[in-house]
Amino acid sequence: MAPRDVIWRPRPDDLENSNVSRFIRRHDLGTAARLRERAAKEPEWFYPAILQDLGVEWFKSYDRLYDDSRGLPWTDWFIGGRLNIVHNVLDRHIRDGHGESIAVIAEDDAENATSLTYAELNERVCRLASALDGMGVGVSDAVGFYMPMCEEVVIGLLACLKIGAVPVPVFAGFGPEALAARLNDARARVLLSADATTRRGKKLELKPAVDEACEAAPSVQHVILVRRGAERVTLTPGRDLWWDDVEVMSSPTWKTSEVDADARSLLLYTSGTTGKPKGVVHTHAGVQIVTAKEVGYHMDLRPNDTMFWLTDIGWMMGPWEILGVLFHRGAVVLLDGAPDYPTPERVWRMVERHRVTHLALAPTAVRLLASFGEQVPKAHDLSSVRVLASTGEPWDDASYAWYFEHAGESRCPVINISGGTELMGCLLAPLPVEPLKASTLQGAALGMDVDVVNESCESVRGEVGYLICRNAAPNMTRSFLGDDQRYLDTYFAKFGEEIWFHGDWAIVDEDGYWFLTGRADDTLKIAGKRIGPGEVETAAVDHPAVREAAAVGLPDKIKGTRLVLVAVAHEGHPPSQDLTEEVRRHIGVKMGPAMRPSEIFWVQALPITRSGKIVRGVIRRVLAGEEPGSLASVANPEAIDQLKI
């Protein structure tokens, strides 16, 4: 890979006042590199140390840190301990006199904003917890979420956790079949939803999908609906209730349940585009520790900070953001809408209006906002922003630079993290006390013993290899729901049960900075060389006419595989044969003649998941003339029609 220069260095405040700098000083570690190393190799020191530093409270302390007698895939943590996430993210703040601090800010499609203090949030959480308990929902019972990103998402999440129930978030853009599959798999007893939502000024009815899904999911006994402006709603007697009616009839106080450290806290479904959805099982202790650790040390969120992560409750980052921010007594900002509606200023207006300190956008969202020009963010006061963040897909340097320069005014670090639903957290994540290069993930997330290896599982540097993890961590999934073998096949079949194989391509440069280049299952083998699609896509968007690109390989009788690029042009650069040849030559110059795409297809948008990931498998199958497979996780299925050439 081409050498990159350092573009950001820690500020005095980062070095003196950040959460991680405090921890480094407290333990006389000297450097962040030493912290990463010790955290990965000495769990017996690291986890007790951060629990004390972060102030995680237990109802009963654990007897033993972990038990790995059954091997890495089945490691148990915090044996004998009892706690509850809600005690740490809500109850203790009320107890300590912080009830008037802002906890939640939610904006709808029309830019109407509502807010909840910690005291207001607590009362509404108690009321819903009381109602769920009255419906017979208790410890380990699953509760489905099919909701827009409104304040009730936070209330519902905490109410379930408070009584020991297990939230099952599902993206509200999924169809009834996909929703029913998840409800059935989880055996959900209650579904939290809304009658409708609004997107780009158009009312989208959710209740019809709810009704159809519930017909196919007989475990659902009750549906609780938020009123979001549907013109006509038919309630099923004995099953459907309005959320506000439920709250009014319920108790404003409710005791938080004490649960075992390994009690289920979340059941998250991965966003694969084919096959049966995989239910990823997480625990109270695992989710508590990873969200507190990552939002605290990596994101450096402090009390009264405000985080706006453009995400959805159906994606891991939704619960991660909510629980991590509330643990540190910050305010979480939610958007039930689009980042460029009603105008391209939407995100920047929200940052200015709510004095956002932590702004997080995926590369796809940044490329969209960048297409409107740098004058749009410059017209707004973004001085409140202290940290930028991102996840979801590899960056290209040009988009990263735009984000760094215009969203963060060239003064804020980009905390670019990468992990997965099955981790409820990160394998790689920067710390704000070390320099950054463009597009980097900097190094290991704290506590993770990561490496880049070749096919023989030998460490490699300066070349693309597989991203792996050599140790267990409390946040790793407790298998897939009802499918232990699939869990083992997914993460441990390639290198054995002592190595977590994550499925990403990564590279560590000559200075020790880590980068991702794409998913290993998207690997391209062109002219005998294996490359990740991200490398080709980065070269493509380096051309000033290309806004976004997806690289896939199609069968070729002569070459075996031919490289094909699907691209979105910037405004003012109409696609043409001349532009196609110019972009092909540009990629050839950047990557070598063998890597010039055989074809370039110009489209208006790339098909992506709600979390902003390009669905290359769908693109590849459609271009090959095959059926696209399940489209349940695709946020914009209309984009697929443009590929049917």
Residues 546-585 pLDDT 10s: 999 999 988 876 667 889 999 999 989 999 999 999 999 9
613 pLDDT more than 90: no
Query: Taking Cα atoms as reference points, which of 123, 137, 135 lies closest to residue 251?
Result: 123
pLDDT above 90: percentage of residues in the chain: 80
Quick: pLDDT tens for 461-515. 999 999 999 999 999 998 999 999 999 999 999 999 999 999 898 999 999 999 9
Question: Which class is domain 524-641?
Answer: alpha beta
Q: What is the mean pLDDT of the chain?
A: 93
Q: For 186-205, how does the pLDDT look when each residue is reduced to its tens digit (9 = 90+)?
A: 999 999 999 999 999 999 99
Phi, psi of 405 (to 5 degrees): -80, -40
pLDDT of the residue at 603? 94
CB 121 within 8 A of CB 158: yes
pLDDT at 627: 85
Segment among 238-242, 377-381, 535-539 with least mean pLDDT: 535-539
Take residue 111 and report the two structure tokens written for it.
């830019």
Lowest mean pLDDT among 27-41, 311-325, 599-613: 599-613
How sure is the predictor about 273, in pLDDT bands with cuts at 50, 70 and 90?
very low
Per-residue pLDDT at 417 exceeds 90: yes
Considering only CA atoms, which of 257, 329, 256, 265 is closest in space to residue 77?
A: 265
User: Which residue has better confidence, 613 or 418?
Assistant: 418
Q: What is the pLDDT of residue 601?
A: 93
pLDDT score of 558: 61
Please determine, for residue 272, whether its predicted confidence score (pLDDT) is greater than 50.
no
Pairing of strands 240-242, 222-226: parallel
| Residue 522 pLDDT level (bands cut at 50, 70, 90) | confident
Residue 233 burial (CB count, 10 A): 15
Nearest to 186 by CA among 501, 422, 482: 482
Over range 357-377, report the average pLDDT: 94
Look at residue 636 in the predicted model and tell me its pLDDT: 87
- DSSP E strand boundaries for 270-416: 279-283, 306-309, 331-335, 358-360, 387-390, 414-416
Residues 633-645 pLDDT 10s: 787 888 888 887 6
Res 592: pLDDT: 74
Position 2 scores a pLDDT of: 65
pLDDT of residue 274: 41
- Are 373 and 401 a contacting pair, CB within 8 Å? no
Q: What is the pLDDT of residues 323-347, one digit of tens each?
A: 999 999 999 999 999 999 999 999 9
Residue-level pLDDT at 248: 96
If you average pLDDT over residues 393-414, what whole number do you get? 94
Which sign, positive or negative, has the C-alpha torsion 29, 34, 35, 38? negative
Q: What would the pLDDT profile of 45-83 be if each residue is shown by its tens digit?
A: 999 999 999 999 999 999 999 999 999 999 999 999 999
Instruction: State the sign of the Cα–Cα–Cα–Cα dihedral 61, 67, 72, 73.
Output: negative
The predicted model scores a pTM of 0.88
Residue 36: predicted pLDDT: 98
Reported as half-sphere exposure (CB side, CA atoms, 13 A), residue 239 has a value of: 18
